Amino acid sequence: LFKHSLLSGIDLQCYENNHSHRTEEMDMVRLLVRRGQPFSVVLQCTDHIPRLPDHQLNLILHLGKNNEVVLKVSDSQQDHGKWWFSQCNAQGEVMLTLHSPADAPVGLYSMTVVLLSADGQILEQTKSQTFYLLFNPWCKDDSVYLPSEELLQEYILNENGILYQGSWDDITTVPWNFGQFEKDVVDICFEVLDNSPAALKNSEMDIANRGSPVYVSRTITAMVNANDDRGVVSGRWDGEYSDGVAPTRWTGSVPILRRWSEGGGQKVRYGQCWVFTGVACTVLRCLGIPTRCITNYSSAHDTDANISVDYYFNDQLESVSEGRKDSIWNYHCWVESWMKRDDLPEGYDGWQVLDPTPQERSDGVFCCGPCPVNAVKEGEVGLKYDTPFVFSEVNADLVVWIVHPDGERIQVSQNSKVIGRNISTKSVYGDFTEDITANYKYPEGSMKEREVYKKAGRQVGQKNEGPGQLELFIKHAPAIHGTDFDVIIEVYNAGREDTDAQLIVTSNAITYNSIHRGECQRKTTSLTVPAHKAHKEVLRLQYDHYGACVSEHHMIRVTALLQPTDQDNIILQEINIPLKMPALHIKIIEKAIVSRKLTAHISFTNPLPVSLQGGVFTVEGAGLTEAKEIKTHGKIEPGQAVTVKFSFKPTRAGLRKLLVDFDSDILRDVKGEATVIVRTKMQNRNAVTEI
């Protein structure tokens, strides 16, 4: 029919398509497009294709690792909700514009153009070409559609973020490099999906479900932790990290994802909640699902799902909570992703909680979510997924019990105000917090809050606040790691009569999730508090006491228990004190230009009264450099300053952040960051000259 082949190849027009689909940061030499938005490729021909009724072009798409799913692309728009294409003939070329449905499965597609004869015989076909299809939050028919450019700039396109730690009344920040557009990250994200148990068991069914952000996001929360499957990060909280990387050392997701992929799906050791959260946020943003990182302060870990956290003490007011005890984590991190919930009744679209930290099993697997934030607020604990668990994390009551020698338990106090405080995320307007507690719950003590409690099946406890009530407060002086500081415990008598009581104060080195690493001090005092007066006790916390047992989260918990002599009630107050850490200082003197060498000077001063050994700096930054380590040699004496130099070549223009961590044998988790504006060589040439 034809003496020579007509079709010589396909130009995917990666530059133009990636730019209009907002994926140019990911790659310029591969095609990455978003669903529900057309893209054009150019079919190159050696000659004009004869416009005969007996020839037609067909497009065939394959999806899946082994091309399991085959899609024939229609050349008419009639088939609503299916792939279709239009064509425009030019000089020796044909422009093909492909239209994908807004609910198409995301993934790696391969595309072949076929020339057919009138009777459907294949005359010739092009070599297959691949492209990635992602979710499209810019498309109003996509179930992840988010109608705000400002929010999309943050929740899809920002590669840098802040994770919040510390305690509810002393919030600390950790910069995090999401790096969702760094080289090969998109491939690793789909590799994570391909390694899920569902994909390995039945890949065709898994591919069909990949059009749903509910399915994809739930799969990611299970796969980010390595508890049940070929997941990415292994969690560990006991302080023993010598066979891996201490969770506090990571400054971003990219080294973790690369290590997992290069190791053939071997779990990466070790992570804790903010690490799981950072990695999940990277993967979800990369796939095109708007996502943000959340920190819930005083987060309940309710192991027996009774929507209360139970603390048990004996007659001597020593803790006797056995086994899997309920606890209040100083903070707990998860992510929220934005999506429609067509699988639920109306009213539950929008932000969904996804918690990738392995805490409890859901449908037999360690994953949590997506759970609508609105369902948590309204107490609709029957709505999927895992709403009772999330409801409890932000709403549980703290109940204190005394266990007598014969085993009898007596409830001595109940407090509904201490759990779920200052729920925080990074603002879209800059590097500061946005408090979103009101998204999760009605104001404490309001009528509406009580209604929600009842709806969630909660017993609303009556507080036993009678006259002669003693009140307990804990305050502290600035707590700088390596120094001694005072904690002041104040007992105030609001009653009309003098009251006798016993006060026990302990200070413990704890991890952020309430694991005790050692008692620093304990002080027991019998006291008489005059009516309408206050009694003050001072506990001096000395580095000699806390330095030996402080955890890598450098956190001290002071617990005060007050028992009036003639009453069977106990007043409990706890305060978590994050010890202030030194900052790393980073100086970059030259102008930052793509592909031109740049040097950072990083300096650190040892704030502790003891020497440090095994010092190592870790440096990384999206668009600047992949993760690199710089070791220091010998000891760093108390008060000694150390400076290291680090050279790198920026790879991408724009506002970039260089993140640095310092780690040693005794002092860990020291962070620093520098913001750099990187220009292209062309931009630099056109720099504004001052007159």
Residues 230 and 125 in one domain: no
Q: What is the structure's pLDDT at 477?
A: 86
Cα separation, 553 vs 516, whole angstroms = 12
- Please tell me the predicted confidence (pLDDT) of residue 254: 97
Per-residue DSSP letter, 346: T
Quick one: pLDDT band at residue 1, thresholds 50, 70, 90? very low
Residue 466, both tokens: 């009678």
Percent of residues, the chain, with pLDDT higher than 90 = 65
Q: Is 538 exposed, middle or buried (0-12, 13-18, 19+ CB in 10 A)?
A: exposed
pLDDT at res. 683 = 64
Asked whether residue 226 is domain-assigned, the answer is yes
Is 397 labelled as part of a ligand binding site?
Answer: yes
pLDDT band of residue 364 (cuts 50, 70, 90) is: low
Q: What does each C-alpha distance from 141 to 137, 138, 260, 354 come to in angstroms?
A: 9, 9, 34, 23
- Tell me the CATH number at 81: 2.60.40.10
417 and 481 together in one domain: no
Closest by CA to 113, choosing from 56, 63, 58, 67, is 58
592 and 479, same structural domain? no
Last residue of a domain, one of 411, 432, 456: 456
The pLDDT of 11-15, averaged and rounded, is 95
Region 361-380 average pLDDT: 83
Both 130 and 169 in a single domain?
no
Active site residues: 273, 332, 355
**Domain contains 400:** yes
User: What does pTM read for this prediction?
Assistant: 0.91
Q: Is the pLDDT of residue 661 over 80?
A: yes
pLDDT of 347 higher than 60: yes
User: 184 and 231, same structural domain?
Assistant: yes
Residues in the chain, how many? 691
The predicted model gives 9-13 an average pLDDT of 93
Specify which residues 619 forms β-bridges with. 628, 660
Evaluate whether 236 touches 249 at the Cβ level (below 8 Å).
Answer: no
* 2 found inside a domain: no
Q: Is pLDDT of 513 > 90?
A: no
Radius of gyration of the chain (CA): 30
pLDDT band at 461 (very low <50, low <70, confident <90, very high): very low
pLDDT higher than 70, residue 324: no
Inform me whether the pLDDT recorded for 362 exceeds 70. no
Confidence of residue 368 (pLDDT cuts 50, 70, 90): confident
What is the CATH number for 223?
Answer: 3.90.260.10
pLDDT for 77 equals 75
What sign results for the dihedral spanned by CA atoms 257, 178, 200, 247? positive
Q: Residue 487: inside a domain, yes or no?
A: yes
**Confidence at 637, pLDDT banded by 50, 70, 90:** very high
Q: Which two tokens stand for residue 94?
A: 């044909």
Assess whether 552 and 591 both reside in one domain.
Answer: no
Residue 191 lies in a domain: yes
**E strands within 257-370?**
268-271, 291-301, 308-313, 327-339, 350-354
Specify the number of domains making up the chain.
4
Q: Provide the pairing of β-strand 170-177 with 160-167.
A: antiparallel
Question: Does 210 or 53 have the greater pLDDT score?
Answer: 210
User: Mean pLDDT over residues 165-171, rounded?
Assistant: 92
Whether 255 and 277 map to the same domain: the answer is yes
Asked if the structure places residue 691 within a domain, the reply is no
- Beta pairing, strands 327-339 & 170-177: unpaired
Q: Is 336 annotated as a binding residue?
A: no
Judged against a pLDDT cut of 60, whether residue 460 lies above it is answered with no
Residue 64: pLDDT band by 50, 70, 90 thresholds?
confident
Amino acid 89: pLDDT: 83
pLDDT digits (tens, 9 = 90+) for 78-88: 777 899 999 88
Least confident of 115-124, 132-141, 182-191, 200-209: 115-124
The answer to whether 132 touches 189, Cβ cutoff 8 Å, is no
Q: Could you tell me what percent of the chain has a pLDDT over 70? A: 93
**Whole-number mean pLDDT of the chain?**
89
Confidence of residue 519 (pLDDT cuts 50, 70, 90): confident
- pLDDT at residue number 422: 95
pLDDT at 302: 67
Structural domain contains residue 210: yes
Do 193 and 113 lie in one domain? The reply is: no
Rounded Cα distance, 156 and 430, in Å: 15
- pLDDT surpasses 90 at 432: yes
| Domain identity same for 413 and 544 | no
Is 499's pLDDT higher than 80? yes
Q: pLDDT (tens digit, 9 = 90+) per residue, 539-589?
A: 999 999 899 889 888 999 999 999 888 777 788 888 999 999 998 999 998
pLDDT above 70: residue 3: no
Q: Which of 554, 578, 602 is the last residue of a domain?
A: 578
Does 590 appear as a known binding residue? Answer: no
Predicted pLDDT of residue 313 = 86
How confident is the model at residue 50, as a pLDDT?
59
2 pLDDT higher than 60: no
63's tokens: 């999806």
**What is residue 464's predicted lDDT score, i.e. its pLDDT?**
43
Find the mean pLDDT for residues 52-62: 80
Please check whether residues 118 and 172 belong to one and the same domain: no
Confidence of residue 303 (pLDDT cuts 50, 70, 90): low
**Chain segment 193-244, per-residue pLDDT in tens:** 999 999 999 999 999 999 999 999 999 999 999 876 789 999 998 888 999 9
pLDDT band at 467 (very low <50, low <70, confident <90, very high): very low
What are 397's strand-pairing partners?
Answer: 308
Q: Which positions ≥6 away from 83 have C-beta within 8 Å?
A: 59, 61, 71, 73, 74, 98, 99, 100, 101, 104
89 marked ligand binding residue:
no
| CB atoms inside a 10 Å sphere around CB 661 | 25
The candidate with the shortest Cα–Cα distance to 7, out of 129, 130, 131, 127, is: 127
Residue 72: both structure tokens together: 């024939």
Map residue 438 onto helix, strand or coil.
helix
* Co-location of 603 and 519 in the same domain: no
pLDDT at position 465 is 42
Residue 690 has pLDDT above 80, yes or no: no
* In-domain check, residue 683: no
Are 574 and 596 within one domain?
no
Domain range for residue 336? Answer: 151-456
E strand residue ranges, 46-92: 55-63, 69-73, 84-90
pLDDT of residue 305: 61
pLDDT classification of 444: cutoffs 50, 70, 90 = confident
Mean pLDDT of 683-689: 56
End residue of a domain, out of 75, 100, 134:
134
246-267 mean pLDDT: 95
